[in-house]
Amino acid sequence: MHRMIGRRKLLEAAGLALAFSPSRRALADELLRQGRDPQNLATPTALFDRLITPTPSFFVRSHFGPPALDRERPLRVDGLVATALTLDAAELERSFPPVTVTAVLQCAGNGRAFHEPRVPGLQWTHGAMGQATFTGVRLRDLLRRAGVAAENLAHTHVHVLGADGPPKPSTPAFLRSIPIERALDPTTLVAYKMNGEALTLAHGAPLRLVVPGWAGDHWVKWLTKLSVQKAEATGFYMATAYRMPTEKVTPGAAVPPEKMRPATTFPVKSIIGSPADGGRAPAGPQRVAGVAFSGDAPIAKVEVSIDDGKTWRAAKLEGEPGAGRWVVFEHRFDRTEPGRVRALARATDRKGNTQPERAAWNPSGYHWNAWHAVSWEVA
């Protein structure tokens, strides 16, 4: 047991060391602007070959831009609780046991650009995701301290609000809610640290929600209020946005609202980070590396094909498997003949979910997870 933990620590440390090594510094500080607004930034695909995404190049998604930085901003816990609480990040850190999780944070719209027919919204390719360690307190511990009566421990909802006000009164606020069952999950955190450092403003300082396995829209930043309520939150960001069809739909078809539900668990997926698509490599040993994850279950295997899907070989996996957490995969082979090589990757989780050749189209283009293909020239 001890040896396993030692090995895991070592692997994570190696991932971090690699991420911050001087030769990688330029890439690790890079973010790619996504769309017109400066607050939406994508992680370069080349960084998807390691366990931890360095914070300076961790994607950023924000609807209205960040509020002013206030490390003492109070967080209120109220609603159906015995005692309402008001605490800031320092008090939270002092009064509850710290918990650290390693988890994938991925926007529901990641990969939207690949859906056909095209869907409106930010045209993310692969860069609206990353993996980091998040440290904070269990939402469960916070709710316990406030006191939730037994009859409210099921079928209620925790409404979650951040300090980023909408730009105009006519614009709806980014109000979200999660079911109490998910709020009580031991991995759901109110986090104050990311990758071992205090949260940066872009990523939600001083406090943000962490909901491993669920899409990024649940991970509310700049927290001001958590409120236990009987009903799910309403408003644009719950009732209209971030919803998926309950059944398979014909690409391009309209879906009636009653056949939509909130987008929660992200599906099994793998992305090749190296080599870069369209690049070159000398003849000889070739290496395909990437990341694989599923919101639902730990990754069981990743297969790579270099013959357009006719045959598949199991890739070597690195990192601790877990639901909502990525592992790094690697496949090596030799290519002595010059010419074009095309590699495909396909992940399967322990519940038997396998990455599909084509992603399920849906009106908002969420949860794209088709096989990733990368081509390069061997010279």
Ligand X SMILES: Nc1nc2c(c(=O)[nH]1)N[C@H]1C(S)=C(S)[C@@H](COP(=O)(O)O)O[C@H]1N2
Residues that bind Mo ion (CB under 5 A): 61, 107, 216-217
Report the nearest approach of ligand X to the CB of residue 60 (Å): 4
Q: Residue count at the site for ligand X (CB under 6 A)?
A: 18
Q: Which of the listed partners (ligand X, Mo ion, none) does 164 bind, with a CB threshold of 5 to 8 Å by partner kind?
A: ligand X
Q: How far apart are the first and last CA of the chain?
A: 46
Q: Which is nearer to ligand X, 63 or 346 (CB)?
A: 63
* Identity of the residue, 14 or 201, whose beta carbon is nearer to ligand X in the bound complex: 201
For residues 66 and 322, which CB has a smaller minimum distance to ligand X in the complex?
66
Find the shortest distance in angstroms from Cβ 216 to Mo ion: 4
CB of residue 2 vs Mo ion: minimum separation in angstroms? 39
Beta pairing partners, 346:
303
Distances in Å between the Cα of 221 and the Cα atoms of 168, 176, 206, 298, 314 are: 19, 11, 8, 26, 38
Binding mask 108-147 for ligand X (x = CB under 6 A): ----------------------------------------
Cis peptide upstream of residue 179 (ω within 30 degrees of 0):
no
Q: Is 47 in the site for ligand X (CB under 6 A)?
A: no
Question: From Mo ion, ligand X, none, which one binds at residue 121 (CB under 5 to 8 Å depending on kind)?
Answer: none
Partner in contact with 141, chosen from Mo ion, ligand X, none, beta carbon below 5 to 8 Å by kind? none
Is position 349 an interface residue for ligand X (rule: CB under 6 A)? no
Pull the structure tokens for residue 322: 């877990």
3-state SS, residue 211:
coil
Q: Please identify which residue in 222, 266, 361, 368 interacts with ligand X, judged by CB under 6 A.
A: 222
Q: Which is nearer to ligand X, 180 or 210 (CB)?
A: 210
Q: Which is nearer to ligand X, 174 or 293 (CB)?
A: 174
3-state helix, strand, coil in the chain (%, to 5): 20, 35, 50
Residues 158-177 that bind ligand X (CB under 6 A): 162, 164, 174
* Burial of 341 per CB tally in 10 Å (0-12, 13-18, 19+): middle
- With the C-alpha atoms ordered 351, 328, 372, 47, is the resulting torsion angle positive or negative? positive
- Told to check if 227 binds ligand X by CB under 6 A, we report no
Which part of the chain contacts ligand X (CB under 6 A), choosing from 54-62, 247-255, 274-282, 325-333?
A: 54-62
- The least CB distance from residue 128 to Mo ion, in Å, is 7
* Nearer residue to Mo ion within complex by CB, 216 or 245: 216
Residue type, 149: A
Please give the Cα distance from 222 to 220 (Å, whole number).
7
Decide: is 107 part of the binding site for ligand X (CB under 6 A): yes
Q: How far apart are CA 365 and CA 263, in angstroms?
A: 11
Nearest residue (CB) to ligand X, 143 versus 210: 210
**For the chain, what is the radius of gyration of the CA atoms?**
21
Question: Are 228 and 184 in contact, with CB atoms under 8 Å apart?
Answer: no
Look up residue 300 and give its two tokens.
């069981």
CA distance 292 to 312: 16
Please identify, among the stretches 28-36, 55-63, 245-253, 294-302, the one whose residues bind ligand X according to the rule CB under 6 A.
Answer: 55-63
Helices and strands counted in the chain (H then E): 6, 23
Binding mask 61-100 for ligand X (x = CB under 6 A): xxx-------------------------------------
Helix (H, G, I), strand (E, B) or coil at 152: helix
**Phi, psi values for residue 87, rounded to 5°:** -140, 155
User: DSSP per residue over 249-283, as a string?
Assistant: --TT----GGGEEE--BPPPEEEEEESPTTEEE-S
| Among the listed residues 185, 217, 303, 349, the single contact to ligand X using CB under 6 A | 217
CB of 6 to ligand X, least distance (A): 30
Q: Which residues bind ligand X (CB under 6 A)?
A: 59-63, 105, 107, 162, 164, 174, 203-204, 216-217, 219-222
